[in-house]
Amino acid sequence: MTTAAMEHLVPFVGEWRIEAFGGTGRSVFEWTLDGQFLVQRTEVDHPDAPNSMSIIAPRPGGDGYIQHYFDSRGVVRLYSMSFVDGVWMLVRESADFSPLDFGQRYTGIFSDDGRTIRGAWEISHDATWEKDFDLTYVRIG
């Protein structure tokens, strides 16, 4: 890796079992292009959850990250991302590649041993946030 910002994301690298909607899936985080970017590929065995791929890059100016999200429905989104003191946040509050019909945010907290991320997605239609669904990651590799 060539930047301190990307080195900070090492705790994500590896294979994870994901738990959501009462089912499971698999998510893999891996470096690409000589460590300049972190790619997340997710496959979910549930009809309400699409398979997806995200590319994470440092935000220009050094304040957090940008996550470029793509999924099997053809959805493309851009999330603001932070990872501070074991807390992973993704936020989308403005239109980007698709209209903004609702705001979204995910907050995940790494366990002390780094083997579990427990979190939830929230949704907002009017500036009030409400829980959408839980999403937990458990390291398997």
- Per-residue pLDDT of 58-96, as tens digits, reads 998 878 999 999 999 999 999 999 999 999 999 999 878
Contact 89, 63 (CB under 8 A): no
Residue ranges making up the domain that contains 84:
4-139
The CATH number of the domain holding residue 121 is 2.40.128.20
pTM, two decimal places = 0.92
pLDDT score, position 26? 97
Q: How many domains does the chain have?
A: 1
Give the percent of the chain with pLDDT over 70. Answer: 99
- Residues with Cβ < 8 Å from 109, sequence gap 6 or more? 86, 87, 88, 117, 118, 119
Q: What is the spatial distance between Cα 74 and Cα 63, in angstroms, rounded to a whole number? A: 29
